[in-house]
Amino acid sequence: EAQVTQNPRYLITVTGKKLTVTCSQNMNHEYMSWYRQDPGLGLRQIYYSMNVEVTDKGDVPEGYKVSRKEKRNFPLILESPSPNQTSLYFCASRFGGTNEKLFFGSGTQLSVL
Amino acid sequence: SQQGEEDPQALSIQEGENATMNCSYKTSINNLQWYRQNSGRGLVHLILIRSNEREKHSGRLRVTLDTSKKSSSLLITASRAADTASYFCATDGGATNKLIFGTGTLLAVQP
């Protein structure tokens, strides 16, 4: 089944404790992206990757890192999480440009205490 | 930066009625997409309309696009309780690297 898999689904952590949210897609998509969703603000792009070893900042990249060593994986790293990073995170992927639809993961609800 | 703004923010209707949601955006686009999100879950693509198209249908969905007004509407006909979800429009802002999402319309369909 074609899908984007995110883990974990829920995560509670404390300020400053490094964490990684994994994202994997099995559709051989070139493009992958991370979004965060906050009430009243919609979805905002954190980082995106056009292909392996090619990543770039989105609208809200501060406090986040990503890597794209393999085509299928695009982990999101929070090296020193802070409470303002408490949010619902989504990984998404697509084949090609913006005239193609995005496939989303199920989301990761992160709480930073 | 927010490209799409949906209106209304929330909509409550009875099963069988039609639901209309509107989206306004700021810059020129190549295409506009609509997505659906069930509570707290990942977004699911519904339909894409290109900038040279004015109307598109998919099942009970009808999307219109008016590039002169920079607006789009999503009509769901004969709504069902299972249509209860948030609906988002997304535009490319003329760029190739991302979709910009609006804040969404929360639709509640009462059985």
Among residues B28, B12, B18, B11, the alpha carbon closest in space to that of B100 is found at B28
Among residues B79, B72, B74, the alpha carbon closest in space to that of B108 is found at B79
Residues of chain A with pLDDT under 50: none
The average confidence (pLDDT) of chain A is: 95
Q: Is the dihedral of CA B10, B39, A91, A47 positive or negative?
A: positive
Burial class of B41 by CB neighbour count within 10 A (0 to 12, 13 to 18, 19+): middle
Mention every residue, 6+ apart, whose C-beta is less than 8 A from residue A21.
A6, A7, A8, A11, A75, A76, A77, A78, A89, A91, A108, A110
Which chain A residues are within 8 Å of B35, Cβ to Cβ? 102
> What's CA B98's distance to the chain center, in Å?
17
Which pLDDT belongs to residue A48?
95
* B97 pLDDT above the threshold of 80: no
Which pLDDT belongs to residue B66?
97
Mention every residue, 6+ apart, whose C-beta is less than 8 A from residue B94.
B27, B28, B29, B30
CB B6 within 8 A of CB B100: no
Which pLDDT belongs to residue A61?
97
* B1 pLDDT above the threshold of 90: no
Token pair for residue B97? 């690297």
Which pLDDT belongs to residue B69?
95
Which chain B residues are within 8 Å of A90, Cβ to Cβ? 42-43
> What's CA A49's distance to the chain center, in Å?
10
Which chain B residues are within 8 Å of A35, Cβ to Cβ? 101
First to last CA, chain B: 37
Which pLDDT belongs to residue A41?
87
Which pLDDT belongs to residue B96?
66
Burial class of A42 by CB neighbour count within 10 A (0 to 12, 13 to 18, 19+): buried
Taking residues B2-12, report their average pLDDT: 81
Instruction: Write the residue in B1, B35, B92 that is nearest to A98 by C-beta.
Output: B92
Which pLDDT belongs to residue B3?
59
For B33-66, the pLDDT digits (tens) are 999 999 889 999 999 999 999 999 999 999 999 9
First to last CA, chain A: 36
pLDDT over 90, % of chain B? 77
Which pLDDT belongs to residue B7?
86
Which pLDDT belongs to residue A1?
86
- Enumerate chain B positions whose Cβ falls within 8 A of a Cβ in A: 1-2, 4, 30-31, 33, 35, 40-45, 48, 50, 88, 90, 92, 95-104
What is the C-alpha separation between A19 and A85, in angstroms, rounded? 12
Instruction: Write the residue in B30, B88, B100 that is nearest to A99 by C-beta.
Output: B30
* B2 pLDDT above the threshold of 60: no
